Chain A
Amino acid sequence: MTYDPGLSGWGGAPRSTPAARVRATDLDAIRRVLAGAGRRGVTLRGLGRSYGDASLNAGGTVLEMPALDGTFVLHDDGRLTVSAGHSLDTILRRILPHGWWLPVVPGTRQVTVGGAIAADVHGKNHHVDGTFGAHVESLRLVLADGDLVEVSPTQDPELFWATVGGMGLTGVIVEATLRLHRVETSYFLVDTDRTDDVHGLLDLIDAHGDEHRYSVAWFDTATTGARLGRAVLTAGDSAPVSALDPERRRDPLAFDAPTLGKVPLTPPLSLVNRWTARAFNELWYRKAPASRRGEVQDITQFFHPLDLVDDWNRVYGPAGFVQYQAVVPDRESLVELVERIGTSDHVSSLNVLKRFGAANPSPLSFPMPGLTLAADFPIRPGLGALLADLDAIVTAAGGRLYLAKDARTDAATLAAGYPRLDDFRAVRSRVGADRVFTSDLARRLEL
């Protein structure tokens, strides 16, 4: 017998072994899998970019969605109808030449449309444009019994909004119609500011946070003391043709997203430790200018600096890492989180902070008005206690955790952040999804 090391999410942990992995090539293949679902049910998996166990199903069936990429119709009015297996990367490459841009682009382009809707992903423009789900005009869903239904904010809105953010637990999204944004170029005009500490950063966000469509901050938790949370804030807008230099003006809609190469193999030990994390934080801070206005940046520079290196998650070694992302409504709680991380003996090499805009009607959508923080921690002993402390701060503040990132909290903590979890369960039960669709995440958090 061959040994199957199983699957994991982007964080590399946990791992789990499904009984079967099936490619969703067409509707018939999907219906066959649903009809043959065993006691351990069916889990949907896109490109495996959720960090934890959302796309894992120990002992059950994993239905792999990227093969579903038949339909691609770009309508004249800027609507796009696509099969759910398309990656956002593919879509951007195909719509850019026509002067269109995705309304929401998350931290990586390597996610499927189905995954983007199921996790209701957000980007740097959440404070203006909301989540990915807010730009979905309608979607087609295969239910547990094999029925194909179309849902939208006006057609069975309950099922639509339970599916948006529903982590693949209501049905199989097979097709979606999105509303795109118009752009003149594929470049961005970016303002950069550095601040000395987290308070300076929050002041800056309060004062100027809404001046640009896109805005995000990187901050340092490895430097302790008075400079804890020193930060680099970048904010920008899509660049008009007139802002480009003559060379870029010749092809303003070029898909300009350079990469350097990939991490070739997983090292036996994590390369991220206290010293390398400090050095990385120092470098990231130093390379940013104290203040700069109107710099033209390409897609990789502005949206996906980490995608310069493919498979970057490998640097964390075989033990993997967890990304902790939470949102809290108030500034004080955010500062408390940063201080708790800063005074722990765990280091995060990459920390992102952003202010969210309004929430949408989805019961499980993560963004809500407030400040969100994301931090990457290498897995090592004692991390559980630190993250449980962070959970307590988040829960006390009335905040919540992000299901697409979570790999370690418990059911009670998750439920405390999502008071409408029972609405979600009710919809799941109404369409019979609870009999078929599950995942290691759903089991762990009792969704």
Chain B
Amino acid sequence: MMNALGTPACLLLLGGTSDIALAVARRYRSEGTALTVVLAARPGERRDRAVAELRQSGCTVEVRDFDARRTDTHSDVIASIERDVDVAVVAFGLLGDPESAWTDVETARELAEVNYVGAVTTGVALAARVRAQGHGVIVALSSVAGERPRRSNFVYGSTKAGMDAFYTGLGEALREHGGRVVVVRPGFVRSKMTEGLDAAPMAVTPDEVAAAIVDAVRSGREQVWVPRAMRVVMSGLRHLPRPLFRRLPI
């Protein structure tokens, strides 16, 4: 059960090797109460390292094999968790190469399957869990890229726009069942996902995103931008006339 301070006893990380997901676990663990982390990710060296790191910091860790593209397995993975899941973070996602994403069918399909289809099937399975428990917070990692498509990464943006809409609506559906969904829209995050890319303006670290997530879960917010100022920036950009928007170096 989540305690009065908004700290979970059981945290489920889907895409559990993501820098942001692991930063969320570290932040909750630093609250001082016992934390079980269910780490759902593809098997491999990265997952082993994540498990070791979490155990080192005092978490109890359970591991589940999870592949975003194997949508038929998502329900079983979540059903296999015995304890109540207090907070679930949907953290998997691919950035992909933006040019092949709109010129190569396979790249486009992979982005769509992981970022949108996988996010939806996972969300349906999580929703069943929340309804059965009567409580639970689902944190969905969306992106500001979904708010207005840009020439530079619109395929990625379109998948995030889809998953953002799905989880926003899911939040409405789960209210009466005691559940809540937090949709998180970070700007450019300096993480292993963006390694080698030039940082965009207002770039943030995974830990800053994690701090925003922990704060939103505690305070009951349902939509957060990281950094906060990004909300105003995106609101402006959404309404910019297209000829002008096109010329922006973003």
A contacts, CB < 8 Å to B: 1-4, 6, 11, 13-14, 16-19, 39-40, 52-53, 57-60, 319-320, 322, 379, 381, 383-385, 387-389, 391, 407-413, 440-441, 443-444
Contact = CB atoms under 8 A, between A and B. Distances in A.
A385 B34 contact: no
Q: How large is the interface on B (under 10, 10 to 19, 20 to 34, 35 or more residues)?
A: 20 to 34
Contact of A19 (B1, B3, B5, B134): B134
17 contacts: A1-B176, A14-B4, A16-B1, A16-B135, A53-B3, A59-B135, A379-B4, A379-B5, A384-B5, A388-B33, A407-B3, A407-B5, A408-B3, A409-B33, A410-B34, A411-B34, A440-B1
A405 B33 CA distance: 17
Contacts of A59: 131-135, 177-178
A19 B178 CA distance: 9
A385 B84 contact: no
Q: Which 9 pairs from chain A and chain B are nearest by CB? A: A59-B134, A388-B32, A17-B178, A384-B31, A407-B4, A444-B1, A58-B135, A58-B134, A410-B34
Given A384-B32, A388-B32, A443-B84, A40 B4 contact: no
Interface in B113-137: 131-135
B1 A53 contact: yes
Contact of A408 (B33, B132, B178): B33
Contacts of B218: 381
Contacts of B9: 410-411, 444
B179 to A, nearest CB: 8
B173 to A, nearest CB: 9
Given A17-B135, A410-B9, A389 B2 contact: no
Given A322-B5, A409-B3, 9 more contacts: A14-B3, A17-B176, A58-B1, A59-B131, A59-B133, A379-B4, A388-B32, A407-B3, A410-B34
B176 A444 contact: no
B178 A16 contact: yes
Nearest to B30: A385
B177 A13 contact: no
B7 interface: yes
B175 interface: yes
B2 A14 contact: yes
A405 B218 CA distance: 20
Contacts of B133: 40, 58-59
Interface string B164-181: 000000000001111000
B219 A3 contact: no
B176 A3 contact: yes
Interface in B1-16: 1-7, 9
Given A385-B32, A388-B32, A389-B32, A17 B5 contact: no
A13 B34 CA distance: 19
B1 A443 contact: yes
Nearest to B1: A444
A412 B31 contact: no
Contact of B31 (A40, A319, A385): A385
Contact of A381 (B1, B33, B215): B215
Nearest to A441: B1
Given A16-B178, A58-B135, A11 B4 contact: yes
A444 B3 contact: yes
B131 to A, nearest CB: 8
A410 B59 CA distance: 13
Nearest to B28: A384
Nearest to A389: B32
B175 A60 contact: no
Interface in B49-107: 84
Interface centre among A320, A322, A407, A410 (most CB of B within 10 A): A410
A444 B5 CA distance: 13
Given A58-B178, A59-B134, A13 B4 contact: yes
Contact of B33 (A11, A58, A320, A410): A410
Given A14-B2, A19-B134, A444-B9, A387 B178 contact: no
A441 B4 CA distance: 11
Contacts of A387: 5, 32
B50 to A, nearest CB: 22
Nearest to B176: A1
Contacts of A443: 1, 84
A408 B218 CA distance: 13
A384 B218 CA distance: 12
A2 B5 contact: no
Nearest to B2: A14
Contacts of A19: 134
A40 B218 CA distance: 24
A2 B131 CA distance: 16
B4 A391 contact: no
Given A319-B219, A391-B32, A408 B7 contact: yes
A1 B34 CA distance: 36
Nearest to B83: A443
A338 to B, nearest CB: 19
A412 B34 contact: yes
Nearest to B7: A384
A378 B4 CA distance: 11
Nearest to A440: B1
A408 B5 contact: yes
A322 B9 CA distance: 17
B212 to A, nearest CB: 12
Nearest to A8: B4
Given A3-B176, A4-B176, A388 B31 contact: yes
Contacts of B32: 384-385, 387-389, 391
